[in-house]
């Protein structure tokens, strides 16, 4: 009897040690997973949700909110430059989420990585996290609004996920720019060579911005960044268009300035003509340069966007 009890106690002790080891391994595993999620480019937990919540601004009358608008800025810019737009939309009872692209603005975790990305899908997947965040906040329609690079991200996103209700694209690049080809031909694609981008704010018609509104901008991006965004992502969008027989999955509103010296207005015009989907609109601004949202006549652009949104909500 004594020996049996001793053996039982020993077995029980061994089982307890085994359980402790298993629990320890499980804890280490979850810590490892948390580290990956929390510090990767997608930062799905904690910190990222707090950031998104801070960037989410409700309509002036939250109970009367009409839709959610996600604003995606151009390369080198930051969400700071679109605060005036978010205020306008909020005043007209739209919720907004105005965010910084990865390695831009206040979304730079490592200064050495500013203006750099390693994967063409990073921005698209990051935007998907934002859409999922908004879907948890309310059941309102979601519209994407993007300027230049932001519009390229929108174009790729709408084909990959198709979980939003419409797209507003300003200064869309629908094909590879000659300037992009020149940069890639003269530099190693995977190098950290810094390319100066739109250092002259007057050139891109950001004339109405004050110095305090552009403190988060960056002046350079890497060759790798140019390759992934202005080459691979645009190529991907072109392939989507062809594979979908030139049908655009969601309602689209294209806006472009006829005096745009960075992305010629023909990009948006030709894209509009190619798209077979019936719910498409195109507005060309004769005096407009690259950045219509911060142009000297931005109030007219805002009004056109508001009218389009109101129409899409009503149908």
Note whether 285 and 255 are within 8 A (CB).
Answer: yes
Percent of the chain topping pLDDT 70:
83
pLDDT at 201 over 70: no
pLDDT of residue 14: 62
Distance of CA 280 to the CA centre of its chain: 22
pLDDT of residue 47: 36
pLDDT of residue 206: 62
**Class for domain 44-314, per CATH?**
alpha beta
Q: 296: which 2 tokens?
A: 């000297």
Query: Which among 85, 160, 91, 83 has a CA at the least distance from the CA of 127?
Result: 160
Query: Which among 197, 215, 51 has a CA at the least distance from the CA of 126?
Result: 51
pLDDT of residue 51: 64
Residues 296-309 pLDDT 10s? 899 999 999 999 99
For residue 45, what pLDDT band results from cuts at 50, 70 and 90? very low
For residue 43, what pLDDT band results from cuts at 50, 70 and 90? very low
For residue 194, what pLDDT band results from cuts at 50, 70 and 90? confident
Pair type for strands 142-147 and 68-72:
parallel
Query: What b/e string do you get for 173-206 counting C-beta neighbours within 10 Å, with b at 16 or more?
Result: bbbebeebeebbeebeeeeebbbebbeebeebbb
Note whether 31 and 72 are within 8 A (CB).
Answer: no
Contacts of 173 (CB under 8 A, 6+ apart): 148, 151, 152, 230, 234, 263, 267
Name the average pLDDT for the chain: 86
Q: 295: which 2 tokens?
A: 């142009």
Mean pLDDT, residues 244-251: 97
DSSP 3-state assignment of 283? strand
Mean pLDDT, residues 193-222: 76
What is the pTM for the complete model shown? 0.83
Separation of alpha carbons 68 and 303, rounded Å: 17
pLDDT of residue 73: 95
């Amino acid at each position: 009897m004594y020996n049996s009890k001793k053996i039982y106690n020993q077995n029980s002790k061994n089982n307890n040690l085994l359980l402790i080891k298993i629990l320890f391994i499980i804890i280490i595993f979850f810590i490892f997973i948390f580290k990956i999620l929390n510090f990767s480019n997608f930062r799905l937990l904690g910190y990222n949700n707090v950031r998104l919540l801070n960037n989410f601004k409700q309509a002036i009358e939250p109970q009367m909110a009409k839709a959610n608008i996600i604003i995606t800025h151009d390369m080198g810019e930051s969400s700071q430059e679109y605060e005036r737009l978010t205020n306008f939309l909020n005043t007209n009872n739209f919720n907004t989420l105005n965010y910084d692209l990865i390695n831009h603005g206040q979304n730079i975790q490592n200064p050495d990585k500013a203006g750099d990305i390693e994967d063409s899908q990073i921005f698209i997947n990051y935007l998907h996290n934002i859409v999922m965040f908004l879907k948890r906040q309310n059941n309102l329609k979601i519209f994407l609004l993007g300027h230049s690079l932001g519009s390229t991200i929108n174009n790729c996103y709408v084909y990959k996920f198709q979980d939003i209700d419409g797209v507003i694209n300003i200064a869309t690049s629908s094909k590879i720019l000659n300037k992009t080809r020149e940069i890639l031909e003269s530099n190693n694609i995977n190098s950290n060579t810094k390319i100066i981008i739109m250092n002259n704010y007057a050139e891109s018609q950001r004339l109405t911005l004050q110095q305090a509104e552009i403190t988060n901008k960056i002046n350079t991006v890497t060759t790798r960044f140019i390759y992934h965004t202005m080459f691979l992502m645009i190529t991907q969008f072109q392939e989507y268009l062809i594979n979908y027989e030139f049908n655009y999955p969601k309602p689209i509103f294209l806006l472009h300035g006829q005096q745009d010296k960075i992305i010629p207005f023909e990009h948006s015009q030709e894209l509009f003509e190619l798209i077979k989907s019936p719910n498409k609109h195109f507005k060309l601004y004769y005096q407009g340069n690259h950045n219509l949202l911060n142009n000297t006549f931005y109030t007219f652009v805002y009004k056109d966007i508001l009218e389009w949104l109101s129409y899409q909500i009503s149908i």
